[in-house]
Amino acid sequence: MAAMDQVMIRLHHALEGGALPPEGRKLGQRLMTQLHQPTRIAVIGLGSAGKTSLINMLLGAYLMPDLAGIAAVEVSHGDAARSQITLADGTIAMGEGLLDPKRIPAAALRVALQLPDPALKDWSFTEIALSPAASAQASLLDWMAGRSDIVIWCTQQFDARERALWSQAPEHLKDHSFLALTRADRLYMKGELASRIAALQPVVADEFLSLFPIATLQAAAARGAEHNDALWRSSGGKAFFDGIRQQVDQARTADLDHAFMLLERYKVSLPEPPASRPQPAELPAAIVTPLPAPGRKADADADDVITSALNVLRGCAGELMAIPEAASGAVTDRILERCSQTAEDLVQLLSQSDDPSPALAAIREDVADGEQMLMLLRLERGETAAEDSLTVLLQLKKELSERVAL
């Protein structure tokens, strides 16, 4: 059984069987949703930037229709061909079968297509056409940010107008964004490609994950029925495709690692085959009577538990202060590991109290959220992640100190 299948089965078993405590169940449900849904990719830019061609190039098939004038067009997987058209007044029109572009109302604002094509099972695409007026695009960018995992900005130059539009995008989305310099063959023929790339490098370093020059039409043709490997490479299509796939795979792997750590923490194993499971009715009553978990305090005092949690944080702070300040991968990894371990210890410690007070419940939730954030930062690695991890622990220490002071 593949590792991903095992994690998915264990996570489903944990959620369905109630094997996770409240602080872990919320995270488990979120991870299950993320692992089941395809990666959502938004391809945005001004008109005539090559967005449609780039999407079809990535899919290896002409699945995204060219619907000029529609602000947002989404294509995703479905068991049958369907369409949904949203008008400017909020009215929604549904349709079965393939969409006829000639029958789209003039007032259409968004079009969503579902197609039974296997190329769409791992990812879905939303093409967003922006206008140069930055003020008119804020709501569209907000809508895009709430339903996108990766963003690709298509352009031939990324001028001041485009930079103003992109500046409205959330920072977290910029960490998973790419700048696609489309129609790179035309720039090359004019002798402008190298200088254009050099001019954009400082912008890319601040605003995007990577820049890829692509001769989009040639790349799409190279992925046709008669695959042309040489053209696929020389057009820039392969490098771009590999870069996007790597980002998709990294996000999926991070979710799997996170789910695996959650399952290991609460010791959730693969369920036994149905045939080997003993029937509860045949067990003696003494065995089926719930027993308290080993070492669990039935009525631990809340203030004592919080004081102990503060001592854990103080101990962690002492160890972190002893770490050399020199910036290096080994040092940042050590900081991230220690912060993450401290959060795990806090979750375990706070779970020892059966105090039902809302205040302690809120602290448990905050610590669980902090633990999740620290786990994600540990996966990201780097100096920025290490600094953010320290900030999370300092905030937890402040909240716990305020609680004891009450």
**Better-scored residue on pLDDT, 204 or 365:** 204
Residue 177, CA atoms < 13 Å, CB-side half-sphere: 26
Give a yes or no: residue 15 inside a domain. Answer: no
Torsion angle in degrees (nearest 10) through CA of 203, 204, 208, 209: -160
Of 118-127, 246-255, 256-265, 370-379, minimum mean pLDDT range = 370-379
**Better-scored residue on pLDDT, 278 or 309:** 309
> Same structural domain for residues 193 and 323?
no
> Same structural domain for residues 178 and 305?
no
Give a yes or no: residue 278 inside a domain. Answer: no
Give residue 300's pLDDT: 44
**Better-scored residue on pLDDT, 383 or 296:** 383
> Same structural domain for residues 123 and 192?
yes
Q: 235, 250, 273: which is the final residue of a domain?
A: 235
- Distances from the Cα of 111 to the Cαs of 71, 92, 95, 336, 401, in angstroms? 9, 10, 11, 44, 52
| Side chain identity, residue 50 | G
> What is the percent of the chain where pLDDT is above 70?
83
Give residue 329's pLDDT: 63
Q: 216, 235, 254: which is the final residue of a domain?
A: 235
Q: Which range marks the domain in which residue 334 is found? A: 293-405
Give residue 301's pLDDT: 59
> Same structural domain for residues 308 and 205?
no
- Distances from the Cα of 12 to the Cαs of 251, 268, 273, in angstroms? 20, 10, 15
* Bridge-based pairing state of the strands 177-182 and 210-214: parallel
The candidate with the shortest Cα–Cα distance to 406, out of 297, 300, 302, is 302
**Residue 212: which CATH number?**
3.40.50.300
> Same structural domain for residues 321 and 207?
no
> Same structural domain for residues 193 and 324?
no
> Same structural domain for residues 112 and 217?
yes
Give residue 296's pLDDT: 38
> Which pLDDT tens digit goes with each residue over 319-366?
776 666 554 567 777 888 888 888 888 887 777 666 666 666 777 777
> Same structural domain for residues 229 and 301?
no
> Same structural domain for residues 91 and 185?
yes
Give residue 215's pLDDT: 94
Give residue 294's pLDDT: 37
> What mean pLDDT, rounded, does the chain reach?
82
Q: What is the DSSP string of 178-212?
A: EEEEE-HHHHHHTT-HHHHHHHHHHHHHHH-SEEE
Q: Rounded CA gap, 255 and 248, in Å?
A: 11
- Distances from the Cα of 323 to the Cαs of 317, 334, 337, in angstroms? 10, 9, 13
**Residue 303: which CATH number?**
1.20.120
- Do the Cβ atoms of 11 and 263 come closer than 8 Å? yes
> Same structural domain for residues 114 and 195?
yes
Give residue 366's pLDDT: 77
Global model pTM greater than 0.75: no
Give residue 16's pLDDT: 87
Give a yes or no: residue 71 inside a domain. Answer: yes
pLDDT of residue 287 exceeding 60:
no
Confidence of residue 136 (pLDDT cuts 50, 70, 90): low
The candidate with the shortest Cα–Cα distance to 45, out of 159, 147, 139, 146, is 159
Structure tokens at 229: 């490997």
pLDDT of residue 73 exceeding 90:
yes
* Domain total of the chain: 2
> Which pLDDT tens digit goes with each residue over 9-49?
888 888 988 888 877 888 888 888 888 899 999 999 998 89
Q: Rounded CA gap, 69 and 55, in Å?
A: 17
Give a yes or no: residue 300 inside a domain. Answer: yes
Angle at 40 between CA 36 and CA 46, to 5 degrees: 175
Give a yes or no: residue 282 inside a domain. Answer: no
> Same structural domain for residues 196 and 318?
no
Give residue 240's pLDDT: 96
Give a yes or no: residue 113 inside a domain. Answer: yes
Residue 382, CA atoms < 13 Å, CB-side half-sphere: 7
Q: 235, 259, 283: which is the final residue of a domain?
A: 235
pLDDT of residue 56 exceeding 60:
yes
The candidate with the shortest Cα–Cα distance to 244, out of 386, 9, 5, 42, is 42
> Same structural domain for residues 99 and 228?
yes
Give a yes or no: residue 281 inside a domain. Answer: no
Give a yes or no: residue 345 inside a domain. Answer: yes
